Each structure stands twice: as C-alpha cells, then as structure tokens.
Amino acid sequence: MYYGKFQRTKPGSIRADGFLKEWLERQKNGLSSHYAEQGFPFDTPMWDGGVGKVIPASIVYNDEAAETPSQEAWWPYEQSAYLLDGLVRLGIVTGDREPIALFEKNLRFVLEHPDENGLLGHAYGASDSEWPMAVFFRAVMAYCEFADDEKAKAAFIRHYQTLPLEKLALGFRHINNLEGVLTAYDWSGDASLLEKAVAAYRRHDEHYSLHTEDEFELYRSKIASGRNYVIHGVSFSESIKLPVLLFLYTGDASFLKDAEQGLAEVLKRHEQIPGLPSCNEDFAGRDPLQGYETCVISDFAWSLGYFLMATGDGRYADRMEKIFFNAFPGSLLKDFSALQYLSSPNQVIAGPGSSHSFFFRGCATFRQFRSDHSAQCCTGNVHRILPNYLLRMWMLDRSGSPSAVLYGPSSYSGVFNGVKYRITEETGYPCEETIRFRFSAESELEMPFSFRIPQWCKAPVAELNGMPFRIPETAKGFATVSRLWKEGDTLVLTLPMKPVRKQDRYWSFYEYGPLVFSLPVKYRMTRENPSPFAPCELVPESGWNYAVPADAEAEVSRNPGGDLFRDVPPFKMKIKGVKISGFDELELGRYTPEIPLFHHVLSGETELELIPYGNALLRITAFPDTVERKSVNCHQVLVSKVYPYDFTRGMDGQCFLPEKVDPAELLASAKVVEPERSGYCDLLKCFPGAENSLAYLYFRFYSDCERDAFFALGASSGGEFFFENRKICVVEPVSDAEYIAPEIVPVRLKKGYNILTAKCVLGQVPMQYRRAWGAMAKAFYTED
C-alpha cells in the first residue's frame, strides 16, 4: 500500500518547453554529449564491462593509485552510475534515443552477469560494495517505468529479494538501497521486501548508534536526536529520505515525524542561502563563505521530492525551486561545459588554488569551473539535476488527478477516469509572475486540478477563461479546483513577487520570489587549453567591498530577453550601498575574504545593481551591515588544566569547574594563554597531543564604563560560553572558530573587568575538518 499525498507520474509524460527546453539543449550539447571529455571513469565502458584495472591517482584524495580490488574501487561505479542516471533521464524528458540506448547497453551487461548468488552489479571484480547499485538503480527505476520493461523489473526484484539483510544494513551507504528494495516492493507486492526494508533500517540504527564516530552513516537515532551533528553532506542528502520512504510504504507516521524534525534541525544550523545545507564536504554552519557540493544540489533536491510526496506540503516544493533556480545555475558555466565541485553564496575568485574552505584549503581545484574534478562524483551527478526537476514538475494526488507542484514552461499528458488529457503550462516563471494552464482532452472531463501557492507569495491572483477566479482555500500550500474541464479552458495564476531583505548575524541578503540576488563581480576568464571543455580560471576585475544599510530599499526591474542560463539576467535589483574597509582584497591574494565584523565606511551611498544568483558566477550575496563596531580590550586569557571529554555525550552534562569563577582564585590556579592576532586561542599549542579533552578558557575584558555590548563567539571543535553566572552561547560540535563566522550575543558589561568563561571541547574530528581545539571571543560595542 502507498500512503503518500502525491505520487510520481510516468516518466515521459512531462515535456519541457520555453527556457527549460533550451536549458536541456544546452546540457545535451554540452557535457551530456561529451561526457568522455570528463575523463575517468566516463571515458570507459562504465557498467558495460567495467572501468579497468587501476583507478587513476586523481580519483583518490591522497594521490595514491588504488589497485582493484580495494576500498576505493566502488568510486568509478558510483560516479558512472550518476552519469548514466542523468543521461537516461535526459533522454526520457527530451525524447532523445541516444542516451537511452547508452543506458540500455549498460543495463544489458548488468542483467546478463549476475554473480554466483544471483546478485547484480558485481561482475567487475572490483568491490563488494552495494552503494554503487543504490545509485545505478535510480536509472533502472526511471528506465523501467518509462519503457515498461517487465523483464528488467523482475531481475531487480530478484536481486533485492536475494540481497542479505545484513549486507543491506551494514557497509558504506549500503542502506541507501532501501530506495531500490521499496521500489521492488511497489512493483511486485512482495511483502517480504517491505519487511526486509524495515528490519534493515532497524539493524542499521542498532549498529551505527554504537559507532557514532562514523561521519558517513545517517542512522535513525541520529536523525531523531535533536542534537547537532556533522556528517558528509552527500551522505545526509541521500539518507534523510529513507525514513520518508519507509513511511510511504508502511504508513508508520513515526518515520515521517523523525525525518521532518531531523531535516528542520539540520537546516536551522546549516542552511545556506540558496536553500540547501552547507557542506565542504561536511556540514559547516550558516556562514555564507562556506560551500556546498554540486552533488548535494542534486541529491538533496531528490530527497526533498520524497518529502513532498509524503506530506503534500508545498514548503518542500518551494525549497526545491529555490535550489534549482539559484544553486544549480550558479555552480556551472551556462554552456554546460564546466562546473564547480564546491560553490558558495560569496565567491569572488574561482581558480585552481582558490578553494577557501578548511577542507583542502588552497590545494584542491574544488572552486574552479572544470569538466572534471579530483573526485568525480559531482561531475557525474550534475547531469541529473535538470532532468529530475522536469520529471517531478507534475505529480498525481491520491485520486490520480494532476498537481502542478514545481513551476516552469512544460506540459503534462495523463489519463483520468479513462479520458486522455493534456495540460500545457505557459510561463517564464521564475522570470515572470504569470502562469497559464491550458487544458485539452478527448472529451469534457470532470477532474480535480491542484496547483501550488508558494509560501513567499502573499497575494496570489487567478483568472479562469478571462474572468476573475477566487482561489480556493489552500491545504499545505496547494489549492484544488474541481470542475468540468473543457477543451481550451485556461486558468491563469499570477504570483506577485516582492523584494525581501533577510538578516543573519552581521550580514544580509535579498530574495525576490524564489530567486536570490547577488552583486556580480566582473571577471577575466582564461582556459588552460583551447578545448571548449578545458578548466577555466575566473579572476575578479571589479570591486565588491560594499555594505548595505538595514533600511536600504530594493527596486526590481524586468530585463526583457533575460534568462538564468544566459549572460543577460532576467531581472535587475537596485539597492543603495556604501564602500567599506576590510573587505576589498582577496585574502592572501587568492581566497574570497570573510565578511568583516569590524570595518569603517569609506564613502557615501552608491547605487548597486544586483542580478539573480544563478547569473553571477563570481558574486557577493551576503552583504556586511553598515554598523561600525568598537572593540573592548581583552586584557588577558587564562586556561585551566585539561579534563577528559566523552564526545558521545552532550557538553552540558560534563562539568569539572563551577561556572562562577572567583577572580583571585582564577589568577592563582590558571595559566596564561597568548591569543593569535585574530583573537583565537589555540589550546593544541598549550596541550600538544590532547585527545578527547575539555578545558576552560577565561577571557578578561576591561570596560572603561558600564555599557551595552556584544560578544562574538566561536569554538573548535565545540564549546559553551558563560557570563554573569549564566550560559549565553553554545557552539555545538563540530565547528571551527577560525573558519566559521562567530555567533553574536548581546551582553551588559560592567565597569572594570568582565570574565567570560569558555568550556572548550575536543572530540571526534570528522575527516573533512581540521583537528582544532580552542575558542575565539571578541567584545565590542556600537555608538548608534
């Protein structure tokens, strides 16, 4: 049984039109028809016989070649499966047989070469990992439902019936095959597959909840914990859908509750401006300097689609659109010849050594626009983003009637109560506010039709056949019109957009409907060689050191002929800004600078012209505020001795010293720490070799009068801050005070010395984070 509010439509029933059709052509004529230009493993037979005997050095982070079999041998099969899934879906939505035929060739080899146990995908002698099959199966799912290939369906039903429960539950990302197991259950009705899925998810949780150091496995207890955790962004994006899928086929609401609460907790702590979690490659907070993988654009949106199906809640569709219309075009060249591995809201340089994240800082090409990357997951996964959006634009409700869930120029052809019909969606959305739905059918058709009112739209307007039409009351963002539809009926929906300023700590950004706006930074582009797919370097040629006042008004104008995938943007937004100090140069001549907390205004107001995020390859999206801050002197920093720390427990329950400290006693027992010039206090310099440790730092700030002030606080790898006998801030592990923007906390300083206590912890440090232990605390006041 299926318990979702929406269900997917048959692949091939949706066709793109307008700018979406043009985008598909750009993808097809770009890397999707020149995928061999992306190098290994895309220049091999892939799943049609295997990738060969040696994985090139560029595939492995540590630059060592890996002979098969090895733990790395699954990489090229994951990466090529991403590509094949994208290509077969591209063929389905465009009607192009060539990419479909390529997938059929790969599928044929898989079906003809089961192993001795009857399992598929292990004929290459490379790895016994089940993770690549989780990726490959998505292509199988789309193809089988498009082509009605019952033979292939039966083979994969047998595969998942045969797959041992223990192997499904345990192993690197093996549990993501639940998507395949549950689809096989949907195809076959075999209840044992549903039972296996539930049991495997339970076993996965039992095992990995005892191995909390694993940063790649998202188990149920972690999702439901309500605590902060740092996990690989792709692992999260792939696995957060699993409890949703289990709800869809069991009806157990506890699965959906855990998933929704878990997703909300992650977004509260790690949401980036374009709507997806920051991750480079692990979660990295809300700082607009932190990046997100192109893989996550694809995988996170895919999982959100299941949230939408399960709940019927339009908020998930809103987020899918935000990701698709901002993060996606903002991470690749408009001719689909190159992409970034990591992209971010603020990026003013994109070259081979410009990666400013703490993960492979300066020594990886992750920020460069290239057709290939040192890890080829994103280069395969990017092919999936556009076709997947198209395939999910239209869904069916539980009655089988159509729902327009994601907007853009398209058409959907379906059957309701035995009558064939077609709905054409004519629009330039999100580059215009009006959407026209035109209906045609074999005969008059009594049918409900649902459409989405985005959460950002406060005053939608509709017309039916040229007459004003009252939009029915919405349910979770969807309005439903039930009527007798006749040939030529036209429903016109207008979604007025208004510019909105959003604030986060000491920066702000602007949105307009589903679009985020950025200040474009002019650049000089050079390619490494004459090939149209050669890596490029983008070097800034205009300034970006602007702050925006809190009361700045935004004015938006339409740019006729503009498009998110063209050099001409569809909109321009004008705001007033001022030039500031401390934000005008590349850090060390090669990195995008962080948003300055301290600066001063250099000039009067000037008019800034912002454009949609997706049009700006180099950009400033988050603008510093215009507040001029004055520092309060930190007279001295002291540190306690070291105590043991259990990273599997919360920080708050591990106390070794009282929160209220006697200054005289403190001066007698603690030792002095010398902060870095940045203000960071590095405890690893004080206690080399420390592991799973806790220590207290005491910052002595001197104020010349009683005043309102603020602390800017950060901790590595986590910490709690206390002031005036109360806890004022928690930086949950894992974080990095030198690379992630601080939290801002208002306080009242007394005249004289004020002691801020920081309980700093060093626990399990994820692979993508630095091993760091310490804290940063700055005090300041304003005269406004």
- pLDDT tens digits, one per residue of 427-476: 999 999 999 999 999 999 999 999 999 999 999 999 999 999 999 999 99
* 691 located within any domain: yes
pLDDT of 55 reads: 53
Q: Quick one: average pLDDT of 220-238?
A: 94
pLDDT band at residue 69 under the 50/70/90 scheme: very low
DSSP letters along 274-341, please?
TSSB--SSB---S-TTS-EEHHHHHHHHHHHHHHHHHH--HHHHHHHHHIIIIITGGGB-TTSS-B-S
Residue 120 located in a structural domain: yes
Q: What is the pLDDT of residues 402-413, one digit of tens each?
A: 999 999 999 999
The residues, ordered by sequence, that sit 6+ positions from 668 with a Cβ below 8 Å of its Cβ are: none
Place of tokens 């914990």: 225
Half-sphere exposure of 199 (CA within 13 A, CB side): 11
Q: Which among 64-73, 209-218, 255-264 has the top mean pLDDT?
A: 255-264
- Specify if 435 maps to a domain: no
* pLDDT score, position 74: 87
Q: Please report whether residue 683 resides in a domain.
A: yes
Look at residues 204, 230, 248 and tell me which one is the last residue of a structural domain: 204
Which alpha helices (DSSP H) does 163-290 contain, by range?
165-169, 178-188, 191-208, 220-224, 233-239, 242-250, 253-270
The pLDDT score that the predictor gives to residue 68 is 42
The pLDDT assigned to 249 comes to 99
Q: What is the domain count for the chain? A: 2
Tokens linked to 167: 């192997």
Residue for token digits 């556009």? 386
736 inside domain: yes
Exposed e or buried b for every residue in 646-661, given b needs 16+ CB within 10 A? ebeebbeebeebeeeb
Are β-strands 680-682 and 292-293 bridged in parallel, bridged antiparallel, or unpaired? unpaired
Contacts of 297 (CB under 8 A, 6+ apart): 276, 323, 327, 328, 331, 382, 385
Say if residues 527 and 292 touch (Cβ distance below 8 Å). Answer: no
Q: What is the Cα–Cα distance from 638 to 757, expressed in whole angstroms?
A: 10
pLDDT at 660: 63
- How confident is the model at residue 677, as a pLDDT? 87
Q: Is residue 50 part of a domain?
A: yes
Q: Which residue among 178, 204, 230 closes a domain?
A: 204
| Alpha helices per DSSP H over 705-783 | none
Assign 161 to helix, strand or coil: helix
Give the pLDDT confidence score for residue 649 in this predicted structure: 86
Over residues 108-134, the mean pLDDT reads 90
pLDDT at residue 581, as a whole number: 97
pLDDT score recorded for residue 363:
77
Average pLDDT, the chain: 94
* CATH number, domain with residue 752: 2.60.120.260
In a domain, 519, yes or no: no
Average confidence (pLDDT) over 29-34: 98
pLDDT at 66: 45
pLDDT of residue 58: 44
Give the range among 59-68, 184-193, 356-365 with minimum mean pLDDT. 59-68
Q: Supply the pLDDT for residue 663.
A: 64
Query: Residue 198 above 90 pLDDT?
Result: yes
Which of 204, 237, 269 terminates a domain? The answer is: 204
Instruction: Please give the average per-residue pLDDT across 733-740, as a whole number.
Output: 94
What are the tens digits of pLDDT across the range 473-520? 999 999 999 999 999 999 999 999 999 999 999 999 999 999 999 999
181 lies in which domain range? 34-204
Question: Alpha-carbon distance 620 to 623, whole Å?
Answer: 7
Task: Give me the pLDDT at residue 767, please.
Answer: 84
Q: What gap in Å lies between CA 40 and CA 9, rounded to an integer? A: 34
pLDDT tier at 539 (50, 70, 90 boundaries)? Answer: very high
Q: Does 668 score more than 80 pLDDT?
A: no
Residue 197 within any structural domain of the chain: yes
Average pLDDT, stretch 771-783? Answer: 96
Q: Which of 449, 433, 448, 440 is nearest to 493 (CA)?
A: 433
Name the percent of the chain lying above pLDDT 90: 85
Could you give the CA distance from residue 425 to residue 410 in angstroms, rounded to a whole number?
5
- For residue 634, which phi and psi values (nearest 5 degrees)? -90, 105
Of the given ranges (136-150, 231-245, 655-669), which has the lowest mean pLDDT?
Answer: 655-669
pLDDT at 67 over 50: no
Residue with tokens 């959907």: 412
pLDDT score for 63? 42
371-401: pLDDT as tens digits: 999 899 999 999 999 999 999 999 999 999 9
pLDDT for residue 215 = 82
